[in-house]
Structure 1
Amino acid sequence: MDIQALSPEIIQETQVQSSATTTDSIPTDLINATFSSTCIDLISAPLSSRILSFSDEFFAPASNLLNPLPPIHRPGVFIATGAWYDGWETRRHNTRPYDWVVIKLGVASGRVRGVEIDTAFFTGNYAEAVSVQGCFESGDNADEKVKGEEYEGWKEVLGRRVCGPSRRHGWRVEGGMEVTHVKLCMFPDGGIARFRLFGEAVPVWPQDEEEEVELSAAVMGGVAIACSDEHFGRKENLLLPGRGMDMGDGWETKRSRGKGHVDWAVVRLGARGRVSRIVFDTRHFIGNFPQCVKVEGCDIQDSEETPGSADKRWTELMGAEKLGPDELFEFKGERIRMANGQKYSHVRITMIPDGGVKSLDESTKKGEKEGPVL
């Protein structure tokens, strides 16, 4: 009987396939729906995530992995090293098992719930497989400690998974491992356009009971869980730090034509608390800011429940207030209805009739908040 000899390539492919499970994989068209209402991208560049070290980035820089925008394609455009790619690409013929990049999360730490690897526009040069490792290291020297190849504290977040050309790949991660840094491994070399690490921020609360805390901020555990529309700008942008680079860094809806139209977004706060100050930022929104905004709140004990737009538990926090172009608008004191000390787990922002804002800040004093809304 003839026995067929297996090439090293076939053996390697078989080993990779056997290490993957079918239960944790998410269809491409369901990745957004799976994570967008419960998680943030813990390594998004606007959160101040950053690349600490890498094995190689000869063709395209590793920092592209953290770009929150979808990858773009520029066929026929060449730079000194070859064709231009919107992603991370290493040189050919890697003599080691894999290329790697170490990333510091943009939050103090986070519980990992999912991973996305996007190989958009990488066809003959895409990563054939990936794995993700994580660690929890704090202190002044944590970054220096984990960035070197000699660091041995990595634990598996996602085992080796097969990737295909020019497509999004998503996986659920069970257990909610808490990490401060992650290491993406690419087998054996090649290119990846984007890397997303979905999860919940685990904030570090200030010790001073009088210090103000931004309950809605993504870095403090806030999550934008639903909205009426996000045609021009994502709802998640509302909760990011800073004032943004341009109009694309805010939440913006399409133009409305019907009478009485409003647009809204629901935010799950990082902790239950009394809201004492509300700030809207219309930076970069000059001809398309909303005429007015109003804010409502509700307190929901069930962390799995998402309050709908018609939910009767919404109570007014701030009545309709006018906004203007390219400016910060702060509301506090009598302009916020404290509702007899009511604490809130969720807030709903309504834009009248439509438009865009850069960010929202719902703040309280540290002593006026309770545990996280998870």
Structure 2
Amino acid sequence: MAVQSIGPETLKYIATSKVRSIAADKIEATFRSRCIDLISKPLGTQILSFSDEWFAAAENLTTPTPPVRKPGVFVHSGAWYDGWETRRHNPEPFDWVVIRLGVASGKVEGVEIDTTFFNGNHAPEIAVEGCFGSNDEEIKHPSFKGWETILEKQDCGPSQRHAWALEKITDKAYTHVRLLMFPDGGIARFRLYGVAVPVFPQSIDDVFDLAAAVNGGVAVSCSDQHFGTKDNILLPGRGKDMGDGWETKRTRGEHVDWAIVKLGMSGEVDKIVIDTAHFRGNFPQKVQVFAGTFETEPSSRDSGWIEVLSPQNAGPDKEHKYGENVLQNVKGSVYSHMKLVIIPDGGVKRFRVFGRRRA
């Protein structure tokens, strides 16, 4: 796919939107109710190329968990760091890393740069560029000229989370991004908040996972996520351990926990899968599912919720599959949101909603 070439002088003045700085303690509230991290490693994102990674690997940028520290631990290149760190005295204007998104393409709403534990060796300034294309070999090459600015150059400080919201969101979608670090240094994590622009099946009768993050699904809210985040239930695959699922804290007495998912496309539901992979002593006793059609984000107590799966016994480390013989109020009904209820608490690895698009 041909990509318009933009010279460096033009890039200097292009900005896709006005930028608003987000305080570290507001990042989750700002982005996590309507966005996913488009470059989270579990989505299948790939580091295609980089200018340098002498002290610490660029791959660490997309690790979904917070950075950690190992004081006093040294490797061949120097002190061990959980992030991306390049050599000192870069002769070029900036270091860079090229990343292919974990979704077919995505629209960007915000950027987070985390320099946690990088103090004295942090990146002084950063910028983010993007492009839309299919030729990884061309895009990853240093001579590629098709980049356009997503986030213009921003200052960074030591050992802290930095985030910026793009005030004017356009219909521009990207398949790849390039993170620029001026002139060199270290960054622990890079998050690119936005919404997936999926490639849906051509036929409206084809069945696919309406809730999957790669198909535009977003976990918009939940009652609790003490041990594992709600966003994990929409990721591909069955994960690697309990850490990449959704897990709530222990409760006492009568209680339920819940997570609300906005489907990537409104549709008619055929099958629901609730996976408790790796949750062997902390799975829910029962699971229950409600569905609804909403123009705005619903609350858990909204009157528009309709029960589509009555409470069912759950088991450890297992995919629980519920088809037409168990589901109710789904035939001929079109829903935009689902509410997964776990009784009374516990952990769920994945939540799948298979159906046909009807919007």
- Output the CA distance in 1 between the equivalents of 2:331 and 2:151: 47
Q: Is the 8 A contact 2:307 2:329 kept in 1?
A: no
| Residue matched to 2:118 | 122
2:77 paired residue number: 81
TM-score by length of structure 2 reads 0.93
Deviation at 1:160, TM superposition (A): 0.3
What is the rounded CA distance, in whole Å, between the counterparts of 2:259 and 2:75 in structure 1?
42
What is the 5 A alignment of 1:76-225? 76-138=72-134, 142-173=135-166, 174-176=168-170, 177-225=172-220
Contact 2:267 2:334 in 1 (8 A): yes
Give the superposition deviation at 1:209: 4.0
Deviant stretches of 4+, over 2 Å: 174-177, 207-211
Matching residue of 2:304:
313
Rounded to whole Å, the distance in 2 between the matches of 1:334 and 1:249 is 30
Distance 1:23 1:201 in 2: 21
Q: CA deviation at 1:169?
A: 0.4
* Deviation per residue, 1:222-281 (Å, 9 max, x gap): 000000000000000000001111000100000001x22000000000010111100011
Aligned pair partner of 2:231 in 232, 236, 241: 236
- SS of the aligned residue for 2:162 comes to strand
**Matching residue's letter, 2:261:** V
Identify which of 31, 39, 47 aligns with 1:43.
39
CA distance in 2, matches of 1:340, 1:62: 47
Secondary structure of the corresponding residue to residue 352 of structure 2: strand
Higher mean C-alpha deviation, range 204-213 or range 288-297: 204-213
Cα distance between partner residues in 2 of 1:208 and 1:29: 43
Of 253, 256, 260, the match for 1:266: 260
SS in 2 for 1:117: strand
Question: For residues 204 and 330 of structure 2, what CA distance do their matches in structure 1 show?
Answer: 21
- Is the Cα contact below 8 Å between 1:100 and 1:185 reproduced in 2? yes
In structure 2, C-alpha distance between the alignment counterparts of 1:120 and 1:238, rounded to whole Å:
26
Question: What is the CA distance between 1:340 and its match in structure 2?
Answer: 4.8
Shift of residue 165, structure 1, vs aligned partner? 0.1
* Contact 1:276/1:338, CA 8 A, preserved across alignment: no
Residue 67 of structure 1: aligned partner = 63
1:280 matched to 2:287? The reply is no
Contact 1:283–1:325 under 8 Å retained in 2: yes
Partner of 1:296: 290
Per the alignment, in what secondary structure is the counterpart of residue 30 of structure 2?
helix
User: Are residue 329 (structure 1) and residue 323 (structure 2) matched?
Assistant: no
The answer to whether the 8 Å contact 2:270/2:330 transfers is no
Q: How far off is 1:333 after superposition? A: 1.2
User: What amino acid sits opposite 1:155 in the alignment?
Assistant: E
Q: Distance in 2 between matches of 1:333 and 1:47?
A: 29
Report the secondary structure of 1:334's partner residue. Answer: coil
State which of 346, 357, 363 in structure 1 corresponds to 2:354.
363
Q: What is the alpha-carbon distance in structure 1 between the residues aligned to residue 22 and residue 150 of structure 2?
A: 16
1:227 matches 2:232: no
C-alpha RMSD over aligned residues: 1.5
Which of the pair is proportionally richer in helix?
1
Q: Give the aligned partner of residue 332 of structure 2.
A: 341
Contact 2:38 2:191 in 1 (8 A): yes
Partner of 1:252: 247
- Cα distance in structure 2, aligned partners of 1:190 and 1:340: 56
The unaligned stretches of length 5 or more in structure 2 are 1-11
Q: Distance in 2 between matches of 1:26 and 1:321?
A: 42
* SS of aligned partner of 1:164: coil
The separation in 1 between residues aligned to 2:299 and 2:69, in whole angstroms, is 38
CA distance in structure 1 between the partners assigned to 2:329 and 2:216 by the alignment: 22
Which structure 2 residues correspond to residues 13-32 of structure 1 after superposition, within 5 A?
Answer: 24-32=20-28
Q: When the two structures are superposed, what TM-score results if normalisation uses the length of structure 1?
A: 0.90
Aligned with 2:226: secondary structure?
coil
Alpha-carbon offset, residue 310 of structure 1: 1.1
State how many pairs are aligned. Answer: 343
SS in 2 for 1:200: strand
TM-superposed deviation, 1:132: 0.3
The SS at the match of 2:325 is helix
- Separation (CA, whole Å) in 2 of partners of 1:311 and 1:32: 23
* Structure whose alpha-carbon radius of gyration is higher: 1
Deviations 1:180-214 (A, max 9, x none): 00000000000000000000000101224443210
Are the counterparts in 2 of residues 53 and 103 from structure 1 also a CA contact under 8 Å? yes
CA contact 1:108–1:204 (8 Å) conserved in 2: yes
Contact 2:34 2:218 in 1 (8 A): yes
How far apart, CA to CA, are the structure 2 residues paired with 1:234 and 1:144? 34
User: Aligned equivalents of 1:132 and 1:314: distance in 2?
Assistant: 40
